[in-house]
Structure formats: structure tokens, C-alpha cells
């Protein structure tokens, strides 16, 4: 916890009260924490995002062998930990190390770092200009650990920062015998999140699971939370459908039709599209315009929170001169309600500068 203390002291010096985005109704969602600066989903990245003034902090949630809820983007451990070195014999036949095959104690014995890939036997950081690989000491934590951090900071600062948990690969977990959605909802209820006014959005890429949450699980648990349908490209194979022992990719194409928004509004309160899904991409490098999906979503009563806004070199689309222009296009020209960003400080500062603007 020492690194969190240091970070908090540093960040409080420049931002905690003056930079908070409370003057603007557009949201800043810290994607995996302040992941542009510290390893994604580390406690330090969450504390830094909090101090930078994010409105919501995101948690991706997967399950361990002993049914613990872990904060990890993938249901694999090998992209962000030293699992391959510590447990070389625990990989599956596809060469991956699955979080669900490890206990919490085993996972917490691992070191966590920035995301990397292995090329020619050598580890390469996915974002070379971010926090260096394997420096300092980070470990995987649980959903409860993170909620306690955010609720604790809400108490000590008097702010009300929200949480934005994503239930990762629910069909995979169910196929492995684990009802991750039920476990997440029970945990959220235990921490006091149980009604629509609470500062929480629950997100998933899996529409079948979101409908089950809306229609069965939340009524059974006497709770009602805001749900967000994440939208993927079908080619990413983000959601698998299991049938008779085989899996096929879920087809998302229908969600990109404007008439899909009314269907989504029957079970969700918002959409989380990949940001190019909202714009007219045929215009090449010209400033893009809305393709109508956002207006259809708003018409259906859905909020729109696209992902992911990154300020790294080569991550700003050519149609924007810089990160601020990219933010302007989405927040004000297109008119989104919030964004997922790895750089919450930049989005908070942008909204502060533009607080009198309306869309
Ligand atoms: O959940 C919003 C955004 O995080 C979706 O992408 O893959 O980073 O979870 P991913
Ligand atoms: Ca996510």
C-alpha cells in the first residue's frame, strides 16, 4: 500500500478538489484506472485516477478457481503477470494461463506489470512510453479491495466517485461452472450499491447476460442498477456463445443499426460503443460527423459512453490534431455523455476549460 500513499500525496497537491469534474455533466470514466500512467488495474492506478478527478473508475472483473472476484482485464494472467515464470506447468493446451485455474492466494503471489507481448522470446511493452515493465511492485487485487479503496476515499475527501464494473466473459465463466454475474451483484449489494440512483454502471459485452441480470438476477436480489451494453465488432470474437460443447462468436452487427437502440433500451440504460462506431468514417481525414447512432440512442433514452480515448503517440486518430481536439469532437460535436479514457487528467482538464459549452 506504500505506493498508493505516495501517489495520493503527490496527486492531492495538484488536483483533488480543484480539478474534479463536478461542474460538468459529461463524465470522465477512468479506463482501468489512470492506466496511461501506471499498470492497468493496479491499486495505484485507481488511486491516481481518483485524485485526478475522474467521475467513475472502471473495474474489469473475472473469477478465480476459489470463486474470488478479481480485477483483471483478461480472464488470462499472462499479459500482465509473471505467471509463466512462476507456474510454467499450469498453462492450458492453447498456451494461455487462465485466472480461473488459480486460487486467489496463487494469483496474489504473482507480480503484475504493464501489458506486454512476447516476440521472439522477448517481452515487449504494448505501450512503450508508459510505465516501465516490472518496475516497482504491483499485484492483482479483488473487487472488494477496490470498492473499499474508492468508498474510503469518498469518505475521506467528501467526494462521490462512482464505480463502473464490467462483468468479463460471463458465458465462459458459466460454461466453467461459475455464475460470475450473480457473484458480482451480491458483492455490489454487500457494499450498498442496489438502486438506480447509486453511482454505478454495470457493463457487459454479452447481451444475453445483461438481459438475465435485468430480468432475473436483479429482481431476485431486490436491486436495480444502471446497465450498459458494450458493443464490439463481431470479428473481435469478444463474446462466445456455447452450444453442445462448441462455441461460436456472437454476431454484433444488429447493434450498429439505429433501430437496435430501442431494443437495447428494454434491458439497458446506456451503450458503450467502440468510438469509431459513432462517426461517419467514409470522410477519411476530415473532421468526422455523427452517423446517427448517438441520436438514436438518446432518442431511446440511452446514455452513450464510447471507449477508449488514449493520448499515446500513434493512438490519436488522424482526423484530430491532438487529444484535446479528439475530446472536442466526441464530447461536443458528436455529443457523447461520457468517455472511457486511460488519461483521466486530460479529460478532466479539457472539460474544466470547456465547462460553459453545451451540446
Ligand atoms: O468497458 C469499456 C471498455 O473497457 C471496453 O473495452 O476491452 O478495455 O474492456 P475493454
Ligand atoms: Ca472494460
Closest residue by Cα to atom 5, ligand 1, is 307
State CA 318 to chain mean position distance.
24
- CB 166 near ligand 1, within 6 Å: yes
Q: What is the pLDDT of residues 277-313, one digit of tens each?
A: 999 977 666 789 999 999 999 999 999 999 999 999 9
* Positions marked catalytic: 31, 73
Which pLDDT belongs to residue 12? 46
Residue 350 Cα to ligand 1 middle (Å) = 22
Closest residue by Cα to atom 3, ligand 1, is 307
Q: What is the pLDDT of residues 28-51, one digit of tens each?
A: 999 999 999 999 999 999 999 999
Q: What is the pLDDT of residues 312-346, one digit of tens each?
A: 999 999 999 999 999 999 999 999 999 999 999 99
Cell of 100: 480461473
- CB 62 near ligand 1, within 6 Å: no
Cell of 293: 447512432
Closest residue by Cα to atom 10, ligand 1, is 73
- CB 340 near ligand 1, within 6 Å: yes
Which pLDDT belongs to residue 285? 61
pLDDT at residue 14 above 80? no
Q: Which residue has the higher pLDDT, 119 or 18?
A: 119
| Cα–Cα dist 220/173, whole Å | 20
Residue 204 Cα to ligand 2 middle (Å) = 8
Q: Which residue has the higher pLDDT, 1 or 356?
A: 356
- CB 232 near ligand 1, within 6 Å: no
**Which numbered atom of ligand 1 lies nearest the CA of 168?**
9
Closest residue by Cα to atom 6, ligand 1, is 307
Which pLDDT belongs to residue 3? 53
**Which numbered atom of ligand 1 lies nearest the CA of 60?**
9
- CB 165 near ligand 1, within 6 Å: no
The secondary structure of residue 292, as a DSSP letter, is S
- CB 40 near ligand 1, within 6 Å: no
Which pLDDT belongs to residue 147? 99
Residue 158 Cα to ligand 2 middle (Å) = 27
Q: What is the pLDDT of residues 280-290, one digit of tens each?
A: 977 666 789 99
Ligand in nearest proximity to the CA of 236: 1
Closest residue by Cα to atom 2, ligand 1, is 307
Percent of the chain, pLDDT > 90?
Answer: 89
| Cα–Cα dist 76/359, whole Å | 40
pLDDT at residue 23 above 80? no
Write the Ramachandran bin of 277: left for phi over 0, alpha for psi from -120 to 50, otherwise beta. alpha
Cell of 289: 460527423
Whole-model pTM: value is: 0.94
Residue 316 Cα to ligand 2 middle (Å) = 19
Which pLDDT belongs to residue 15? 46
Percent of the chain, pLDDT > 70?
Answer: 92
Ligand in nearest proximity to the CA of 230: 1
Residue 184 Cα to ligand 2 middle (Å) = 15
Q: What is the mean pLDDT of residues 176-205?
A: 98
Q: What is the pLDDT of residues 151-184, one digit of tens each?
A: 999 999 999 999 999 999 999 999 999 999 999 9
Q: What is the mean pLDDT of residues 255-260?
A: 92
- Which of 9, 275, 2 has its CA nearest to residue 137? 2
Ligand in nearest proximity to the CA of 232: 1
Work out whether strand 122-125 and strand 226-231 pair parallel, antiparallel, or are unpaired.
Answer: unpaired
Ligand in nearest proximity to the CA of 307: 1
Q: What is the pLDDT of residues 213-250, one digit of tens each?
A: 999 999 999 999 999 999 999 999 999 999 888 999 99
Q: What is the mean pLDDT of residues 266-278?
A: 98
| Residue 76 backbone phi and psi in degrees, to 5 | -110, 155
| Residue 191 backbone phi and psi in degrees, to 5 | -95, 10
First to last CA, the chain: 41
Helices and strands, counts by H and E, the chain: 13, 13
pLDDT at residue 264 above 50? yes
Residue 104 Cα to ligand 1 middle (Å) = 23
Amino acid at each position: 500500500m506504500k505506493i498508493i500513499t505516495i501517489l495520493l500525496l503527490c496527486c492531492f497537491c495538484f488536483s483533488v478538489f480543484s480539478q474534479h469534474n463536478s461542474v460538468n455533466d459529461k463524465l470522465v470514466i477512468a479506463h482501468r484506472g489512470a492506466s496511461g500512467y501506471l499498470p492497468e488495474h493496479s491499486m495505484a492506478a485507481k488511486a491516481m485516477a481518483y485524485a485526478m478527478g475522474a467521475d467513475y473508475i472502471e473495474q474489469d472483473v473475472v473469477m478465480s478457481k476459489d470463486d474470488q472476484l478479481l480485477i483483471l482485464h483478461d480472464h488470462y494472467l499472462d499479459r500482465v503477470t509473471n505467471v509463466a515464470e512462476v507456474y510454467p506447468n499450469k498453462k492450458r493446451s492453447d498456451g494461455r494461463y487462465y485466472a480461473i485455474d488459480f486460487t486467489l492466494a496463487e494469483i496474489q503471489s504473482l507480480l503484475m506489470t504493464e501489458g506486454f507481448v512476447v516476440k521472439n522470446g522477448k517481452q515487449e511493452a504494448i505501450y512503450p512510453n508508459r510505465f516501465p515493465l516490472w518496475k516497482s511492485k504491483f499485484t492483482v487485487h479483488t473487487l472488494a479491495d477496490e470498492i473499499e479503496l474508492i468508498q474510503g476515499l469518498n469518505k475521506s475527501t467528501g467526494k462521490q466517485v462512482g464505480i463502473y464494473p464490467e462483468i468479463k466473459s460471463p458465458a465462459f465463466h458459466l460454461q466453467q461452472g461459475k455464475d460470475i454475474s450473480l457473484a458480482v451483484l451480491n458483492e455490489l449489494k454487500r457494499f450498498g450499491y442496489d438502486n438506480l440512483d447509486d453511482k454505478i454502471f454495470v457493463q457487459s459485452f454479452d447481451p444475453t447476460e445483461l438481459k438475465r441480470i435485468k430480468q432475473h438476477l436483479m429482481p431476485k436480489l431486490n436491486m436495480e442498477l444502471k446497465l450498459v451494453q458494450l458493443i464490439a465488432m463481431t470479428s473481435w470474437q469478444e463474446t462466445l456463445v456455447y452450444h453442445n460443447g462448441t462455441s461460436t462468436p456472437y454476431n454484433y452487427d444488429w447493434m450498429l443499426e439505429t433501430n437496435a437502440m430501442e431494443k437495447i433500451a428494454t434491458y439497458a440504460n446506456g451503450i458503450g460503443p467502440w468510438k469509431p462506431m459513432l462517426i461517419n468514417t467514409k470522410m477519411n481525414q476530415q473532421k468526422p460527423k455523427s452517423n446517427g447512432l448517438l441520436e438514436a440512442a438518446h432518442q431511446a433514452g440511452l446514455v452513450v459512453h464510447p471507449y477508449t480515448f488514449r493520448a499515446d503517440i500513434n493512438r490519436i486518430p488522424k482526423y484530430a490534431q491532438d487529444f484535446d481536439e479528439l475530446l472536442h469532437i466526441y464530447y461536443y460535436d458528436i455529443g457523447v455523455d461520457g468517455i472511457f479514457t486511460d488519461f483521466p487528467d486530460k479529460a478532466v482538464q479539457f472539460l474544466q476549460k470547456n465547462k460553459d459549452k453545451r451540446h
